[in-house]
C-alpha cells in the first residue's frame, strides 16, 4: 500500500519534501497505513443497546473501538467502564478504560481514526466506582462504533 502523503510505495517513488510530510510518512509506515488527518473513514459497525441496561457486549471477538456514546438515565453521576472481555467481568475487576459521566446526561468519547484495540472482545458497563467494576442499575444505553 502506498503512503497517500508522498506516494512512496513498496518500490519507492517521490520523496517527501517537507518535514511534516516526512513525519506523516514515518507514522504511516509505523502504524500500518492509518488514514491521514482529514481523510474519510470507512463506515464503522454500530452496536447498541435496545433498552436501558447496566452492561453490554460490544464485541465477542477481538476488535477496534472507534468511539462510544450513550445516555445515563440515572440522576446521579456514574462511571462507564470498558473491558477487554467477551462476557461480564466480576465486580472488582480493573477496567481497560474509564469514562466519568454526568447524571441524566449523554456521554461520548471518540478515538478516531485509530481507535482502541481490544484483543479479546469488548464489554461496556456502568459502575458506581471508577477504575474497578461495581455494577450499577440498568439505567444506561450504550452505542459503540467498531472499525470495519
Which residue matches cell numbers 447498541? 48
Q: 30 with 91, same domain?
A: no
Count of domains forming the chain: 2
Q: Give residue-wise pLDDT tens across range 86-119.
A: 999 999 999 999 999 999 999 999 998 889 999 9
Looking up residue 89, the CATH number of its domain turns out to be 2.60.290
pLDDT at 107 (0 to 100): 94
CA dist., res. 116 & res. 83, Å (int) = 11
Which residue matches cell numbers 485509530? 114
Q: Where are the beta strands (DSSP E) in 1-85?
A: 45-48, 55-59, 63-72, 78-83
pLDDT at 44 (0 to 100): 87
Give pTM, 2 decimals. Answer: 0.73
pLDDT at 11 (0 to 100): 39
Which residue matches cell numbers 506523516? 24
Q: 36 with 16, same domain?
A: yes
Task: Tell me if residue 130 falls in helix, strand or coil.
Answer: coil
CA separation (Å) from 108 to 41, 63, 70, 91, 100? 19, 19, 6, 24, 10
Domain that holds residue 30: 1-40
Write out residues in the chain with pLDDT < 70, as ranges. 1-42
pLDDT at 112 (0 to 100): 87
Amino acid at each position: 500500500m502506498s503512503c497517500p502523503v508522498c506516494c512512496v510505495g513498496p518500490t519507492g517513488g517521490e520523496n517527501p519534501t517537507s518535514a511534516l510530510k516526512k513525519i506523516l510518512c514515518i507514522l504511516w509506515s509505523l502504524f500500518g497505513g492509518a488514514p491521514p488527518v482529514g481523510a474519510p473513514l470507512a463506515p464503522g459497525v454500530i452496536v447498541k443497546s435496545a433498552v436501558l441496561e447496566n452492561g453490554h457486549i460490544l464485541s465477542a471477538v477481538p476488535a477496534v473501538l472507534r468511539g462510544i456514546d450513550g445516555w445515563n438515565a440515572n440522576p446521579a453521576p456514574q462511571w462507564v467502564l470498558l473491558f477487554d472481555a467477551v462476557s461480564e467481568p466480576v465486580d472488582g475487576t480493573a477496567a481497560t478504560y474509564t469514562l466519568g459521566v454526568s447524571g441524566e446526561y449523554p456521554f461520548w468519547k471518540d478515538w478516531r481514526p485509530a481507535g482502541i484495540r481490544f484483543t479479546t472482545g469488548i464489554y461496556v458497563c456502568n459502575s458506581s466506582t471508577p477504575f474497578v467494576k461495581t455494577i450499577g442499575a440498568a439505567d444506561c444505553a450504550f452505542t459503540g462504533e467498531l472499525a470495519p
